[in-house]
Copies of this chain bind each other. A is one copy, B any other.
Amino acid sequence: MTDKSTTVARRRRYAILAEGSFGELPSKTAIGVIRYGRDTVVAVLDSTRAGRNASEWLGPAVDIPIVASLGEALAHRPDALLIGIAPPGGRLPPDWKRVITAAIEAGLDIVAGLHEFIGDDEDLAAAARQRGTEIIDHRRPPARMDVAQGRQHSANKRVVLTVGSDCAIGKMTVALELRRSALAQGLAAVFVPTGQTGMMIDGWGVAVDRLVSDFVQGTVEWLVEEGERMGDWVFVEGQGSIDHPAYSSVTLGLVHGARPHAMVLVHEPGRRFHHGWEAAESRIKPLSDLVGAYENVAALVAPSRVAAIALNTAALAEGDSRRVLAETEAETGLVADDPVRFGAERLLDALRACLE
């Protein structure tokens, strides 16, 4: 493995910046890193929720104080500040630069996944050089410039891609839950991160939405090859949705670059419009239409099937969630489950039945 994108990073103690949005969609990076990450999170910075604890959102197994200032966070001895939000377009809110500067001056590394690279800010780069701390921009693409070659999967490997009815709907989470269940069943399972949060969680990968468009499929092909070297069941994190007006091309690059043996379609019941496109009334399609759309576009390069449906039912009472899951199974003829709420075993069983 010659590219640093596949070198797993060392573990850190994070303070996570999630100002104004902890527990909400813009801070999904913060939630993902706490729930699934390899690193320790010692504090969350969000002055609007200061004094509370991340356990309110993530359950009693979590104990992470939410604090109002960097000074308070430093009392918990972080060694890095993680930028835990993903604003539309990926840009750094100008007023956060002050906090990042202070963190560098306190000796912290900076870990970010924005489109606008922290390391390209001359002031911040100079401050880090002077203080001897590191700035890690997970979205910075690898140097390789290779188009897809049409690589075939190795024998006995199973490549599964999570796909969605929208962006920001849980495709990364479902891939991680599937890996968890597969490992529990004794399978050699691997998660392939394709976005900055997944990279922060697993310590390697590539943010495909930042790649030069000509090389998306070639880079995904190579990521899957790396995944196959690490294990037998390769769960690739999906991005966007095939009908999203802004992000569908990234989605297709994953479908055609990964050539998955099977796909799992991720949806959130009750979401009616594409994220950020409510005003434009960009409507989320019926799941059975989406199953057909994904299978049709996959077949343009390599046939694949949607083997199961994963729903995020967090907003529903348990009884309602079971009813919605049953309705979804009736509508699509596929196994449907909420892997965060009920575990990913039934989804994994459906995949094994489809692929073994």
Contacts and interface: CB of A to CB of B under 8 A. Distances in A.
Interface in A286-304: 293, 296-297, 300-301
Contacts of A212: 115, 209-213
Contacts of A280: 150
A182 to B, nearest CB: 28
A253 B242 contact: no
A208 B213 CA distance: 7
B213 A209 contact: yes
Contact of A301 (B116, B148, B245, B297): B245
Contacts of A256: 245, 248-249
B247 A217 contact: yes
A213 B195 CA distance: 13
A16 to B, nearest CB: 23
Interface centre among A146, A213, A282, by most chain B C-beta atoms within 10 angstroms, is A213
B150 A248 contact: no
Contacts of A150: 245-246, 277, 280, 282
Interface string A206-225: 00111111101110000000
A94 interface: no
A71 interface: no
A247 B147 contact: yes
A270 interface: no
Contact of A300 (B88, B248, B253): B248
A127 to B, nearest CB: 24
Interface of A: 88-91, 115-116, 145-150, 208-214, 216-218, 242-250, 252-253, 256-257, 277, 280, 282, 285, 293, 296-297, 300-301
